[in-house]
Structure 1
Amino acid sequence: MRTKTSVRLRHSAALLAVSTMIVGGVPALAQSSDAQTTAQTGNTQSEDSSSTDAADIVVTAQFRTQRLQDTPIAITAMNSATLQARSQTNIVDIGQFAPSVNLSNAASFNGNAVAAFIRGIGQEQASFAFEPGVGIYIDDVYYGTTFGAALDLTDLDRVEVLRGPQGTLAGKNSLGGAIKLFSKKPDGNGGGFAEATYGSYNRMEVRASGNFTIAPGLYARVSGVARRRDGFVKQLDFGCVYPAGGTATFVDAGGVSRPVNPPLAQGGIPAGTATDNCVVGREGGGNLFALRASLRYAPTGSPLEVNVTIDHSRDDSEQVATKLAVATNPLSLANSRSYFAANPAGGIPFDNRFITGARSYTNFANYSASGNYTTVFGTPYQVAPGTFTDRPENSANSWGIAGTVDYDLGGGFSIKSITAYRKAWGTSVTDSDGTPVNVLKQRLDNTHKQFTEELRISGKIGSIADLTIGGFYYKANDLARYRIQIPIDLFDFLTDDPVSNRSIAAFGHLELHATERLNLIAGLRYTDDKKTYTFHRLNPDGVPIGFRPGEEIISVPSPVPVFPLNALNGLVAGLNGAASTAKDQRVDYRAGINYRFSDALMAYAQMSTGYKGGGINSQPFVLDQVQPFSPEKLTTYEAGFKSDLFDRRVRLNGAAFLSNYSDIQRTVFFCPESTSTQCAQTKNIADARYKGIELETTVRPLDGLTFDGSLTYIHAEYTKIKDASAGITLGMAPPFASEWQASAGIQYSFDLVGGRLTPRADWSYLSDFFYNAQNRPENKVPGRDLFNARLTYETGDGAWSVSAAVTNLFDKFYEVGVGENIAGLGNSNTVLGRPREWSLSVRRKF
């Protein structure tokens, strides 16, 4: 990493240390006993709790506090102790141990984003033209995009993963389900922690949190994290590994043996400069700094409680770790020649010579492009040759402020207002071809701003019913600035696309207590959406369009430009200033019944709906491809049970579901309305049916010994193809629908040398799935099983603990996603999972 990175880390760590000293140095004022209760603190576990027992968790999935086992929803809840025991530090890690959940860092062309799926339903593309399929919430504040959603799990009270459509309470875009993160609230208990970690790839990390009292009823909490880590994938200099004119050969897709790097005079690629053992960069690393400060006003005996939180994060990550897996386009082998900036007289075919070892963490991506232009967005200008970017950046920065006001109205009713503003911005640079030649480069600059307001009135109607009614408002203004750089002028352009997104909703939820054991549930939500996408298309240099010498990739380089056009790019000439609006109204509902057979067993059944908002095709080449697409819709029938058996030593929860999924959104590459041009258009292409079974269990046969596990089976199939241009058939598998998913863990805690030693081991399994709708072998992600281990020693007073952890214990080489472009360039890049990594942490509670 660069020197400035280490400087930033030291500054970040210093800031955290100063914050911690300030927190620890403020004397706690005298507290009444009421301030120590859960109701007063607002946290479901105490500050020093180390219990992983889910029975202790109180959830708010139905907008009121309930025990996890009393909530008639398929829900996985994890407290902070469980997250720590499993070495889970990022939202993506949750997917390993929650049934039916598949979370991963999105493929590189999506920017710093998360591909989130629950029960096979979600969204992999992070473009502002699309809506998420899994709702992500931070302290009940909805986060309206998957961009910047790779959230750190610092100082959380709990995580709730709700499976199945949550259309009535969570609202739109919680089609597959919802992931809700709840941070610890300030309280009157004082205390906090500081933790330092060192590990593989020079991982250096500091986490800290402090909780203190300013005055009676007024509390504050400060928490943060600073982390740096080198990337685990090495970018290699092709000309250094294989010198031009060398003897190394490879066998191309046609079975012919060819030189890997021919002499320079024949188009060979020269070596770069200032390389370190041919390594010119890395992917998969990065630096993170995040800070959150919370203020809570909750006087004893007062009907009013106010919580205000301000947070900031700076995620200066490298690009997602990828490598070229396939290069098979016959055109590439026959006549494609790619211009290389340092050798303008030649060219080299784009083919499988650029694929590194099948199980190696290496690639030949170079993140620089040929040509005599670069971009300052909004003001294109010419610069020296050879610049596009110099590093695999994948950053995301954000800040936000949220205020929650709770007021007890009396008579069993209360009102809650949740008001929040959030801004996120970042840059992502992708070498989409994964090679040193100039075939496809992308730069994406995203800005997301959102304001949300939610108002709820909740209460009890005697002992007859629990009721919640409310309203929700969401307004987002987004800006997508990107450059698609292909060395054909017709495909090299800039965008500067503003997106306006507004949603208004009203909802109600009623739980009728028919008897002491029987409850009936009804929910209803009306939503009105409006999204406007405006297209701006600019040339990168403002000169007339035409092929420059040596810049073609689908024919032999032309000595002179051909068919010059006007200064506005030919294929996007009609798009500059064009706009389109998508409007939708939707009613979602939920009807359910649950019955408690005994203190140990509750069963439920329900029907619920949800939807994912529509949008506008964001990848048009001509004006008639600027088309809106409709929302996706889901209706799910579900039955489940929750049980605590054998004196609560065995917990077994299960659910079975059948989901009818309609108007599935997918991008197609054939458009009958514009067959004479390129095409990438999002359409509603199919309906599908998903059915499955989920089981979760926790077993405590002895004090200190815990087994936990989960199992999921899902069968997904298309039931109707609505658009043949999508290239799918009824026999194909819908994407992201793994048939099997499982996890298991064992933990044993016992006394040792005046303290307590806790070893833990975890296993997770995810069967193979397709990353997009076309079931080509190139976009199939193989199944994987992973093992983690952790050993923690805690002193007898709980003040100190030391943990040693290993993730991916057996160093499994695996993929988590695919960036596939077989239909276009003939290449496929795989997104790599992290290799085996170790870490050592020291934690101090105070």
Structure 2
Amino acid sequence: MNPSYVPQARRSRLAVAVALLLAVPALQAQEAATLDAVEVTAQRKVENIQDVPVSITSVDAEKLELYGSGGADIRFLSARVPSLNIESSYGRAFPRFYIRGLGNTDFDLNASQPVSLVYDEVVQESPLLKGFPLFDLERVEVLRGPQGTLFGRNTPAGVVKFESAKPSQEFGGYAKLGYGSDDMVNFEGAVGGALGPRWSARLSALYQRRDDSVDNTLAGAPNESFEGYDESAVRLQFLYEGDAFEALLNLHRRDLNGTARLFRGNIIQPGSNNLVPGFDRDEVSLDGVNFSDLETWGASARLRWDFDGLVLHSITGYETAESLNRGDIDGGYGAVFLPDSGPGVIPFASESADGLPDHEQVTQEFRLESDNDGPFNWQAGLFWYREDITIHGFNYDSLAPGNPQAGFAVQQQENKAWAVFASGEYQATERLKLRAGLRYTQDEKKFSASVIEAAPFGAPVGGPYRVDTDANDVSWDASAVYALNDDVNLYARVAKGFRAPSIQGRLLFADPGAPNGGVTTADSEEVISWEAGIKADLWDRRARLGFNLFRYTVDDQQIIAVGGGSNIATLLNADRTVGQGFELDLEAYLADQLLVTLGSSYNDTEIQDSSLAVAPCAACTVTDPLDGSGRALIDGNPLPQAPEWVHNLTARYGVPLSSGELYFYTDWAYRSEVNFFLYESLEFRGKSSLEGGLRVGYAWQQGDREVALFGRNITDQVRVVGAIDFNNLTGFLNEPRTWGVEFRTRF
């Protein structure tokens, strides 16, 4: 692959930095700390991460503990893994994932994402399921590039995979309690052990809360303050281990009550992406109601039968969610035609809510794999998926006493899919291993939407407006791993991914004259991705390196034109999108007590569609050319929420003491500028971001007891991380600085 697309100066600086960093361990003492092998299940079986021909990052339990010290939700992984960005316009409830720039900015509860989230081998398709808290986990794996053969369900960009800690016959567990700023409380714990000679169980729980930290300066407003939350989650697992049969049963639940995303009107300075002078993140003036309620629960059964040379797996999953999320979209109070309004210009009031009163997802997979010592091994299976959802959309009149309802719409969708897949690997020579796989998918959607009560300036009462889609596709992958020696592997991979058609039906603010009431559909998208890289264990396992180059093309990429001056969300297909770059993962002991990890990625994305145009914002400075209808031509633009550069660094230094260990642990995550929308403008381009964390702790009794002081966003950086573009210069912010103390015990 020709890496000429990476600027030469940047490549040179990166090469020098890596060379200097890798040279340091050679100066250390001969008897030195070494890195343990990292086991992953990226290919649906346990393997050493160095042998897997995929660009992959594994995040262990200690790092997860560091990142989550301040009670943060799943978004704390953003920029802490190469090529990964996560954002949300719902707060803690609805994370949106982007890998190598590919994602979906759509905020509809029906939106599909090209990054699949798999929790304990069960796909979490609804955006509201993707934010399940991270606690009592063995590891997190981030697989970059199409994973359509073995995971299948909406994976053209990649997979984020979570594995919970499993029950065992040995009694044990832990408890962790943290307290911090804004009366933040963070509890996490687990206990498990044997129930009999073959049965064991593990109960895990989490509870997090934080008081409101933002005051509402508007007298008599429905909410006096914002940004607090109260969240709990629990997971109960039972494990049966027979002679040739194993069963892992999982029950889990999440409850969230708190503040919806806090939109702040006119916080961006016109003609720039700076915050307005005198901005205070601790105050707002809002006349709308704000809350976020979410309840999810599910169950799964993972069964395994061992036969002579064969293993049969059955994975059954059930998930359901119920939610209501309401917020003040205009980010202020009043309206410009009233005697009093603000902050800045509020053209008209906008307050809305999205609810998911009915949701059900059922999945079933059967997978058969070979288990022998020969040169060829394989796995094949069947997958079935069904999801039924009902979405309620509400509009409210913020200018009337009591903020009464002023608009109501309903969406319903039934999605059924099935797939058959097979994958094999062949040890061609002592040093060369080949892999390949195929998957056939059939996907059907039946969608209807109706406007029951019309909202001001929106579509009239009408419907049901119906759309049916039926698509099929063959995904595939082929790869090779060549062992230069016992410590260095070279690999290359090519893969094709697929995402089924999507349907968007936010009718309350649809164009009254739009066909089919404003329901829009995006056709299937297909991705072809190439990557080649090196994975190496260095200096007697004192360091581990992963580096790859990649390039992909997306045909008919599904994109969403969100908002604009008309506040209409429209699904579109771009003719082609191209992405290219590199990813680096490095872990090294620079001294026996100093462990450093470095992650870095470069992503260059470009939309290639000479005729594609979208509605621009009403109050920003658009830099794209406009067509004859005043719409912005987006050919050549980068994808939204796709930073070119992501860097992350962690460093842990331990000081052995006679009674334990004193340690210092810091982490830093950088991402470069991002566009918030498909068009480019001066105001709606997020500044680069650098956030750091710090943890200072003391562990004793062989690490079973630990107390630590922690800080998140320790520089108190304030950044606009997303925006609402139809009305005014409304944005929302990153998480504030958090300090606290934490105690943990293992037993």
Partner of 2:441: 527
Alignment of 1:728-807 (within 5 A): 728-807=633-712
- State yes or no: 1:666 paired with 2:559: yes
CA distance change for structure 1 residues 492 and 431 in 2, over 3 Å: closer, same or farther? same
Distance 1:619 1:663 in 2: 22
- The superposition leaves residues 605-660 of structure 1 with CA deviations (integer Å, 9 ceiling, x where unpaired) of 01111122212231354443434320222110100110011111121110100010
Q: Distance in 2 between matches of 1:118 and 1:325?
A: 30
Number of residue pairs matched by the alignment: 670
- Is 2:575–2:608's contact at 8 Å kept on the other side of the alignment? yes
Quote the offset at 1:356 in angstroms: 8.4
What pairs with 1:41-440 in structure 2 (closer than 5 Å)?
55-87=36-68, 90-104=73-87, 106-108=88-90, 112-237=93-218, 271-272=219-220, 280-299=223-242, 302-325=243-266, 357-367=278-288, 389=289, 392-411=290-309, 413-437=310-334, 439-440=349-350
**What amino acid maps onto 1:579 in structure 2?**
R
List runs of 5+ in structure 1 lacking aligned partners: 1-51, 238-270, 330-353, 368-388, 553-569
Equivalent residue letter for 2:351: K
Q: Which of 454, 459, 467 is residue 571 of structure 1 equivalent to?
A: 459
Query: Corresponding residue for 1:478?
Result: 389
Alpha-carbon distance in 2 for matches of 1:717, 1:468: 36
Tell me what 1:375 maps to. none
Report the equivalent of 1:559: none
From 574, 593, 602, the equivalent of 1:713 is 602
Contact 1:128 1:478 in 2 (8 A): no
Gap change, CA 1:645 and 1:53, over 3 Å in 2: closer
What corresponds to 2:625 in structure 1?
Answer: none
Q: CA offsets per residue over residues 349-384 of structure 1, 9 Å max, x none?
A: xxxxx97843533221222xxxxxxxxxxxxxxxxx
Distance 2:547 2:197 in 1: 45
Name the stretch that deviates more: 827-836 or 479-488. 479-488
Amino acid of the structure 1 residue aligned with 2:352: Q
Cα deviation for residue 797 of structure 1 reads: 3.3
Give the whole-Å Cα distance in 1 for the aligned partners of 2:73 and 2:276.
Answer: 31
| Contact 1:122–1:175 (Cα < 8 Å) also in 2 | no
Does 2:352 correspond to 1:445? no
Check the 8 A contact 1:193/1:844 in 2, yes or no. Answer: yes
Match of 2:738 in 1: 837
CA drift of 1:839 comes to 1.6
> What secondary structure is seen at the aligned counterpart in 2 of 1:358?
coil
Provide closer, same or farther for how the CA distance between residues 480 and 192 of structure 1 changes in structure 2, counting only shifts above 3 A. same
SS at match of 1:776: coil
Give, in angstroms, the shift of residue 739 of structure 1. Answer: 1.0
Tell me, what secondary structure is at the counterpart of 2:77? helix
Report the identity percentage. Answer: 25
- Secondary structure of residue in 2 paired with 1:215: coil
Deviation at 1:809, TM superposition (A): 1.1
Counterpart CA distance in 2 for 1:527 and 1:54 is 40
| Residue 578 of structure 2 corresponds to residue 689 of structure 1 | yes
Distance 1:208 1:111 in 2: 21
Q: Kindly tell me: are residues 609 and 234 of structure 1, through their superposed partners in 2, closer, same or farther at Cα, counting changes over 3 Å?
A: farther
Conserved? CA contact 1:592–1:604, under 8 Å: yes
Q: Work out which structure has the larger RCO, using CA pairs closer than 8 Å and 6 or more positions apart in sequence.
A: 2
- Distance of 1:648 and 1:697 partners within structure 2: 12
> What is the CA–CA distance in structure 2 between the aligned matches of 1:670 and 1:790, rounded to whole Å?
41
Residues 613/171 of structure 1: CA separation in 2 closer, same or farther (3 Å cut): same
Are the counterparts in 2 of residues 431 and 442 from structure 1 also a CA contact under 8 Å? yes
How far the C-alpha of 1:317 sits from its partner, in A, is 2.2
Q: Match for 1:586 among 461, 473, 476?
A: 473
The residue identity in structure 2 corresponding to 1:608 is A
TM-aligned CA deviation for residue 85 of structure 1 = 3.5
* Distance in structure 1 (CA, Å) of the matches to 2:525 and 2:277: 40
Deviation at 1:74, TM superposition (A): 0.5
Distance 1:517 1:444, change over 3 A: same
8 A Cα contact 1:128 1:499, kept in partner: no
Q: Is the 8 A contact 1:111 1:147 kept in 2?
A: no
Secondary structure of the residue aligned to 1:466 is strand
Question: Which residue is equivalent to 1:467?
Answer: 378
1:606-625 to 2 correspondences below 5 Å: 606-620=493-507, 621=510, 622-624=514-516, 625=518
Q: State how far apart, in whole Å, the 2-side matches of 1:633 and 1:485 are.
A: 39
2-side partners of 1:517 and 1:130: how far apart?
44
Change (3 A) 1:85 1:112: closer
Aligned counterpart, 1:350? none
Measured in 1, the distance between the counterparts of 2:154 and 2:253 equals: 25
Is the counterpart of residue 645 in structure 1 residue 538 in structure 2? yes
Residues of 1 paired with 2:280 and 2:97: CA distance?
A: 26
Match in the other structure for 1:40: none
Inter-CA distance 692–355: structure 2 relative to 1 (3 Å threshold): closer
3-state SS of 1:93 partner? helix
Asked whether the equivalents of residues 581 and 616 of structure 1 are also in contact (C-alpha less than 8 Å), the reply is no
**Which letter does structure 2 place at the counterpart of 1:313?**
R
Residues 508, 666 of structure 1: alpha-carbon distance in 2 compared, 3 angstrom cutoff: same
Q: How large is the Cα RMSD of the aligned pairs?
A: 2.7
Q: Return the offset for 1:812.
A: 0.8
Whether contact under 8 Å (1:685, 1:721) holds in the other structure is no
Greater fraction of residues in helix = 1
What TM-score, normalized by structure 2, do the two folds share? 0.85
State the SS of the aligned residue for 2:182: coil
SS at match of 2:459: helix
Q: Distance in 2 between matches of 1:314 and 1:129?
A: 21
Q: Which residue of 1 aligns with 2:11?
A: none
Question: What amino acid is the match of 1:843?
Answer: R
Unpaired segments of 5 or more residues in structure 2?
1-32, 336-348, 616-631
Task: Give the match for residue 17 of structure 2.
Answer: none
The letter for the 1-side match of 2:671 is L
- Report the CA distance between 1:724 and its aligned residue: 3.4
Specify the code of the residue in structure 1 equivalent to 2:545. Answer: L
1:489-528 aligned at under 5 Å gives the runs 492-528=406-442
Q: Which residue of 2 aligns with 1:595?
A: 482
1:636 to 521, 529, 533: 529
Q: In 2, distance between residues paired with 1:829 and 1:590?
A: 43
The Cα shift of 1:667 comes to 3.4
Closer/same/farther in 2, CA of residues 229 and 327 from structure 1, 3 Å limit: closer
Q: 1:401 to 1:764 in 2, by over 3 A?
A: same
Does the C-alpha gap of structure 1 residues 297 and 774 become closer, same or farther in structure 2, counting only changes over 3 Å? same
Deviation at 1:205, TM superposition (A): 2.1
Q: Is the 8 A contact 2:561 2:678 kept in 1?
A: no
- Give the Cα separation in 1 of the matches to 2:715 and 2:148: 41
1:626 & 1:98 partners in 2: Cα distance?
36
Distance 2:203 2:575 in 1: 48
Structure 1 contact 655–695 (Cα < 8 Å) conserved:
yes
Determine if contact 1:665/1:685 at 8 Å carries over to the other structure. Answer: yes
How far did 1:292 drift?
A: 0.9
Secondary structure at the counterpart of residue 256 of structure 2: strand
In 2, Cα distance between equivalents of 1:465 and 1:667: 44
Deviation at 1:834, TM superposition (A): 1.3
